[in-house]
Amino acid sequence: MSEIKNIPTENKPSKIKKVFIEGAITPEFIANAIAKHSAKTNIGAHDIFLGQVRADKINDKTVAAIEYTSYHETAEQEFHNIREEAFRKYDLTCMHIYHSLGKVKAGEICLFVFVSSKHRNDAFTACREIVEKIKSNVPIWGKEIFEDHSHQWKTNTDLKVSYQNSILDDLDKIKELANKFKLDTEDLSHKDFITAKLNGELIGFGRLKHHTDFDEISTIGVVGSYRKNGIGKKIVSQLMNQTSKKIYLATVIPLFFQKLGFFNTNEIPFQLETKIEQCHSKCHSEKVFILTK
Amino acid sequence: MGIKVLYFGRIAEICNTTSEILTDVRDVDTLKNVIHSKYNLLLSFKYKVSINNKIYNTNRILNNGDEIALLPPFSGG
């Protein structure tokens, strides 16, 4: 049995919490938020992320402020999902997210993420993941207003995901995730894999399974919170570059591969026939498609 | 009644409005065609489409009363 989490009632991860604040988030607000936690003596570690508006210089013009707008209900729902997922994944005592709407001047705070846990590791990891998800998943837009009142729309820098050939140390993590995602775990060798890593952490993988007269793209997985960022797509295209043989694959999500130029085929190599059966038993008889390129 | 279309960020600026009602749009592809011919600049613009607060990547049938939003790349934080 896992330890029962001691979550204070007001912070239970269920109801939608107020996230948006009009204008900048003040140092007093942040100080108060910290002070409020002194009564929660089961907390051993807080991790705080503060996003501050930069006075970027672009073509001799300096950013004076950012004006934030959002798709309100969807944004709140997305913040809620991020929260719920973090509570599910990490042993957190409580979590607060605040984001500005409207104008925030350069040097002022526009994002405040406050994560508390018993021990530091959960707080550190969760906080970073929450911030990345806020940037990629929440419908908020920043308009950078220059000192001369002209403007441009802010763009967020992408996740710095690195793609590389797998090393032996990755294999345990790949095995664990492949089992979790119910992927093909037959003959796993790190040499066949390409991995996607974010700050050294493995967040995606995929491999070429070598058969006599063709290669098979197999065991493609991306950690849930990083999906829909094109990571799976990148892994597949890198795998495609690593072979000159004909490629086959078995999948329950043909659309994903069709977008990458694969097409359905009825010519099924015998090596894939057993795989279709395994797929059926693992994936609750979802329909399996064979694609080629 | 028709389809309510919401525009955000740079898209709202291009369309010069934050929302409008469109009729006779049976699916997302048709809606995109209508919008692209109305606002040519959007043709080359990257955005996601949400239907009733959920983002879909494929074409879908639209119903009267649906709320569609055109979402440019997010830039919160």
Per the listing, tokens 């994002």 go with A111
In chain B, residues with a C-beta closer than 8 Å to the C-beta of A155 are 73, 75
Give the HSE-up count for residue A208: Cα atoms under 13 Å, Cβ half-sphere: 22
For chain A, which ranges sit under pLDDT 70? 1-14, 158, 284-285
Chain A residue numbers with beta carbons less than 8 Å from the beta carbon of B72 are: 141, 153
Residue A41: which of A8, A79, A87 has the closest Cα?
A8
B77 contacts A110 by C-beta, under 8 angstroms? yes
Distance from CA of A36 to the nearest CA of B (A): 24
- Residue ranges per structural domain of chain A: 9-153, 161-292
Give the separation between CA A173 and CA A223, rounded to whole angstroms: 11
SS (H, E, C) A151-168: EEECCCCCCCEEEEECCH
Locate B57 and state its tokens.
Answer: 């990547």
Residues 6+ apart with CB under 8 A from B69: A71, A74, A139, B5, B6, B7, B8, B49, B50, B53
Alpha-carbon Rg for chain B, nearest whole angstrom, is 12
Ramachandran class of B9: left when φ > 0, alpha when ψ lies in -120 to 50, beta otherwise: left
- Domain positions in chain B are 28-58
pLDDT tens, position by position, A139-192: 999 999 999 999 999 888 767 889 999 999 999 999 999 999 999 999 999 999
Homologous superfamily assigned to A9-153: Molybdopterin biosynthesis MoaE subunit (3.90.1170.40)
Q: How far is A176 from chain B (nearest CA, A)?
A: 29
Q: Which residues of A touch B71 (CB under 8 A)?
A: 71, 139
Alpha helix locations (H) across B1-77? 9-15, 28-38
What pLDDT, in 10s, does the model give residues A55-70?
999 888 999 999 999 9
What b-and-e string marks burial along B33-43, b requiring 16 or more CB atoms within 10 Å of the CB?
ebbeeebeebe
Chain B residues near any Cβ of chain A (below 8 Å): 6, 8-10, 50, 53, 58, 69, 71-77
What ipTM does this complex have? 0.94
Mean pLDDT, chain A, as a whole number?
A: 90
Q: Do B76 and A99 touch (CB under 8 A)?
A: yes
Mark yes or no for CB contact A155/B8 under 8 Å: no
- For domain A161-292, give the CATH number: 3.40.630.30
CA distance B70 to chain A (A): 10
The C-alpha atoms of residue A34 and residue A7 are separated, in whole angstroms, by 17
Least CB-CB distance to A134: which of B8, B72, B77? B77
